Amino acid sequence: MKRVAILISGGGSNMVALAKSMTGDHPARPCLVLSNVPGAGGLAKAAEMGIPTAVVDHRDFKGDREAFERAMIAAIDPHAPDVIAMAGFMRILTPAFIGHYAGRMLNIHPSLLPKYRGLNTHLRAIEAGDAEAGCSVHEVTAELDGGPVLGQARVPVQPGDTPETLAARILACEHALYPAVLRRFVEGERGFLSL
Ligand code: GAR
């Protein structure tokens, strides 16, 4: 059975979707939910599901990114994860951290990569007049939101959409896409999945 550590910063709805998918004949189970935000809503949800949780608050490290990441690694590695799934984890990671988990890190990003890496993806799609938006699950490499894309789900941008309404439409797709890509990834499948 493979082990999946999930990194979050917020409400953790993607984390819940991932954790709920890892039952029955699924070849993986969640082994840890780690947040850099002490009060992140996802922590309580993980605890309710019986998943071990950890907090490594980046603010305790006063801008020392390497020390923050060393503390994260120290919290993660005892759980012996095969896969690290970033699910709304809102800190940029250095190549040292990413290299430590090379080839076994996934992230979900709320845009159709390579469009709109970084933040404010929904606003940027609306302002650009895009007819379509969506989400991507990609392997994490040292390039921000730049690793190989393993799956995407697309939604229409509707007239009158705000960043909030578009984000809600995309989030619903995230909850279907991420579990599907994670399962394929754990099974060794690296082909592109379109939902
Ligand atoms: C999701 O929309 C995810 O795609 C996004 O944060 C949200 C987290 O929601 N991630 C990023 O923007 C990463 N740069 P959740 O905590 O409910 O899963």
Query: Per-residue pLDDT tens for 54-92?
Result: 999 999 999 999 999 999 999 999 999 999 999 999 999
The helix-helix angle for 41-48 and 13-21 (nearest 10°) equals 20
Our count of domains for the chain comes to 2
The answer to whether residue 138 is catalytic is: no
Domain boundary among 102, 121, 143: 102
Same domain, 22 and 113: no
Query: Per-residue pLDDT tens for 110-159?
Result: 999 999 999 999 999 999 999 999 999 999 999 999 999 999 999 999 99
Range of the domain at 3: 1-102
Query: Per-residue pLDDT tens for 22-38?
Result: 999 999 999 999 999 99
The encoded tokens of residue 2 equal 């493979």
Q: Are 4 and 22 in contact (CB under 8 A)?
A: yes
Compute the distance from residue 88 Cα to the ligand 1 centre, in Å: 4
Same domain, 90 and 143: no
What is the best residue among 18, 91, 108, 173 to mutate for testing ligand 1's pocket, by most ligand atoms within 8 Å of CB? 108
Catalytic residue among 58, 109, 122, 138: 109
The answer, yes or no, to whether the previous bond of 148 is cis (omega within 30 of 0) is no
pTM of the model: 0.97
The ipTM (two decimal places) reads 0.99
